[in-house]
């Protein structure tokens, strides 16, 4: 752990729950940065634009400009400039696709015509017409991309449906498996390595997350250690669902920071 220079933190269940700060998380990030660690926030939340997520982090005392990496950005790395993309997702996906030079079309606008790519992410206007639009586009030859396949995400009131639940519906009706962009898959791993810069080495990074099947697998995909926190999906005392070794098993991000800095 002395060699860790990059701390790759999940957001939901690690830093906050429904954007309510988990106690000690802001102070932990501040301590890690003060000790020379680069902290990136790597999230499968694709709904919100980057500035919105950065502003929400700033509101709980964590400056984060340039330090948020999302599954929407990972998904947009799979489209090419000029392609027409049907976005069955939130504003974060629309923003990321536009930034890639492609042409994002919101499924809520009831569009017609041919599409090159369909991107499905979490959104709260999912309905039958949107499902049929995605079905028609994919059966018409569009590539099917999912921002992530988490079927739920944690909130203070318990788990709520995640993007994976919507992706499963589209996959069922189209009889097509998507390319998944977010954690723990390779598009997100490549994007994180790029964002960390030329000094990035897997052995110098630590993934911190609350879900072994996603965050732990992401650490495995990168080839770095995994720190499990029990402030989100994995409750205190629950058996972790990680299939990779757990380097640290702690109550929360503050405890992880103490283990890294105070030993």
Catalytic residues: 10, 12
What distance, in Å, lies between the first and last C-alpha atoms of the chain? 10
Give residue for tokens 């309510």.
20
Give pairs for 193-202: CB < 8 Å, separation 24+: 193/222, 195/40, 195/69, 196/6, 196/38, 196/40, 199/5, 200/6
């Amino acid at each position: 752990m002395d060699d860790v220079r990059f701390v790759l933190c999940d957001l939901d269940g690690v830093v906050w729950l429904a954007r309510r700060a988990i106690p000690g998380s802001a102070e932990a990030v501040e301590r890690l940065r003060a000790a020379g660690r680069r902290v990136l926030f790597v999230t499968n939340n694709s709904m919100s634009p980057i500035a919105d997520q950065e502003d929400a982090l700033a509101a709980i005392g964590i400056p984060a400009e340039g330090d948020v990496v999302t599954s929407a950005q990972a998904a947009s790395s799979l489209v090419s400039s000029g392609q027409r993309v049907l976005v069955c997702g939130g504003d974060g996906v629309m923003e990321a696709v536009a930034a890639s030079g492609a042409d994002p079309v919101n499924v809520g606008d009831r569009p017609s015509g041919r599409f090159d790519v369909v991107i499905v992410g979490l959104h709260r206007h999912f309905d039958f017409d949107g499902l049929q639009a995605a079905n028609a586009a994919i059966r018409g030859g569009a590539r099917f991309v999912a921002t992530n396949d988490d079927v739920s995400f944690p909130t203070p009131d318990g788990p709520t449906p995640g993007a994976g639940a919507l992706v499963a519906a589209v996959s069922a009706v189209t009889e097509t498996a998507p390319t998944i962009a977010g954690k723990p898959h390779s598009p997100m791993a490549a994007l994180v390595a790029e964002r960390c810069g030329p000094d990035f080495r897997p052995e110098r990074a630590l993934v911190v997350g609350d879900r072994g099947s996603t965050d732990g697998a992401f650490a495995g995909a990168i080839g770095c250690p995994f720190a499990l926190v029990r402030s989100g999906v994995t409750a205190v005392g629950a058996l972790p669902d990680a299939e990779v070794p757990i380097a640290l098993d702690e109550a929360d991000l503050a405890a992880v920071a103490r283990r890294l800095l105070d030993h």
